[in-house]
Amino acid sequence: MTELRTTELRTAELHLWLRHEARPTERRTPVVPQDARRLVEAGVRLTVEDSPQRVFPTQEYEAVGARIAPAGSWTSAPHDAVILGLKELPDEATELTHRHVFFGHAYKQQPGAADLLRRFAAGGGALLDLEYLVDDDGRRLAAFGYWAGYLGAALAVLQHRDRLTVPLRPTEKAELDEALRAAPGDEEFTALVVGALGRSGRGARAAFATAGVEPTCWDLAETRGLDRAALLAHEVLVNCVLATAPVPPFVREEDLDAPARRLRTLSDVTCDVGSPLNVLPVYDRTTEWTDPVRRLRKEPPLDLIAIDNLPSLLPRESSADFSAALTPVLLEYGATAAWRRCLNRFHEACRELGVKEGEFGRA
């Protein structure tokens, strides 16, 4: 397939439609009011759906010139509107006729991936997945990774020290850091961050530092020849690896019953559950804010934390960082190679999952 021309993405006037998030625990936004002002002043037509759970009040968007629409009304948005969000769409059988910008989690053979892509193909829309909106070196142009890693490690520390308050609730970094510093526990423990050099890994290391813990740090060099016994000798493991190709799993089902296992708390920031790229195939579903910890083994105990929207626990800080990175990219919508690559990746994923190219419609 030849690379798509720029004009196949661009319209005369960009109309961005910021949707309400369907997930009740999603408090973040891809564009904060301060950056919404930048978009409006640059000539972007911006529609923002009302959302009582969004950390920034709807009135702040209206004050900077955005048009306000009811929650969920994107389904009847003008055909040329680009629908902007973060997490999954409502799980319905409806065709998707718009171009959508969000984290689709549909390109690694995750459960439900084929159904989602078929909805786009049937309606003639397209998924412009934020995970694949990357620069020429393949680096994401906007990401929540740092905050995901920070929270993944913070929750692991609090759980391991028996200081985790359930259900989880959104907070601010100062309050979270106070909890980390105030929970030293009775004994020191060993911690390991895998994927320590990436965005998520840096965040995890920062949280451990706040908690007064110096973790062991592994990245590509250490995982190529994985010393599984050394991994299991750590009491806390935070997985921050973004796998792009299948690799041998870091922890296997049989490792959970290994007599020498010292691992007690496992925090999976990546949450590739159900994907063949999952490096921790020892659980079959994520955990939730209401029940964030699942016990995988009773004796000796092993607890799992696997929350796939961790940054929403620090919604204000994580949204501000993400929005600052994404807004310049939105201002160049359709005009750069990054957007063309993003659309081409959608077409490739459809073919990989058996969605016929003839079904693509206008996308």
Go through the chain and tell me how many residues it has: 363
173 within 8 A of 319, measured Cβ to Cβ? no
CA distances from 43 to 34, 74, 330 (A): 15, 20, 12
Kindly state whether residues 114 and 236 are assigned to the same domain.
Answer: no
- pLDDT of residue 5 exceeding 60: no
CATH number at 66 reads 3.40.50.720
How many structural domains is the chain composed of?
Answer: 2
Cα–Cα distances (Å) from 287 to 292, 296, 307, 309, 349, in that order, read: 5, 12, 5, 10, 27
Q: Omega of the bond prior to 300 within 30 degrees of 0, cis?
A: yes
- 228 and 173 in one domain? yes
pLDDT band, residue 206 (cuts 50/70/90): very high
Residue 360: pLDDT band with limits 50, 70, 90: very low
Q: What is the pLDDT of residue 359?
A: 44
| Domain assignment of residue 320, yes or no | no
Does residue 139 lie within any of the structural domains? no
Whether residue 302 is found in the same domain as residue 158: yes
Predicted local distance difference test score (pLDDT) of residue 301: 97
- Which among 105, 160, 234, 347 is annotated as catalytic? 105
One domain for residues 15 and 116 = yes
The reply to whether 356 belongs to the active site is no
Domain match, 161 and 255 both: yes
**Statement to judge: residues 208 and 305 lie in one domain:** yes
Examine the domain organization and report whether 209 and 123 are in the same domain: no
Round the average pLDDT of the chain to a whole number and report it: 92
In angstroms, the CA 242 to CA 71 distance is 33
Q: Say if residue 3's pLDDT is above 50.
A: no
Domain identity same for 123 and 188: no
Neighbours of 280 (CB within 10 A): 21
Q: Provide mean pLDDT across the span 118-122.
A: 93
Q: Is residue 323 part of a domain?
A: no
CA–CA gap between residue 60 and residue 206 (Å, rounded):
32
Position 10 pLDDT exceeds 70: no
Widest Cα–Cα separation across the chain: 65
CA pair distance 285, 272, nearest whole angstrom: 10
pLDDT for the residue numbered 8: 58
Residue 246 lies in a domain: yes
Q: Is residue 1 part of a domain?
A: no
Q: Cβ(133)–Cβ(122) under 8 Å? A: no
Round to whole Å and give the CA distance between 143 and 304: 24
Domain shared by 160 and 183, yes or no? yes
The whole-number pLDDT of residue 30 equals: 98
What pLDDT sits at residue 345? 96
| Residues 157, 270: Cα–Cα separation, whole Å | 17
Asked if the structure places residue 325 within a domain, the reply is no
Please check whether residues 189 and 127 belong to one and the same domain: no
Check whether residue 117 and residue 170 sit in a common domain. Answer: no
Range of the domain at 186: 145-313
Query: Is residue 127 over pLDDT 80?
Result: yes
Mean per-residue pLDDT for 192-218? 97
Per-residue model confidence (pLDDT) at position 186: 52
Share of the chain above pLDDT 90, in %: 85
What is the DSSP code (8-state) at residue 88? P
pLDDT digits (tens, 9 = 90+) for 143-188: 999 999 999 999 999 999 999 999 999 999 999 999 999 866 556 8
Residue 137 in any domain: the answer is no
Q: Note whether 119 and 88 are same-domain residues.
A: yes
CA 62 vs. chain centroid, Å, equals 27
- Tens digit of each residue's pLDDT (9 = 90 or more) over 72-109: 999 999 999 999 999 999 988 899 999 999 999 999 88
173 is catalytic: no
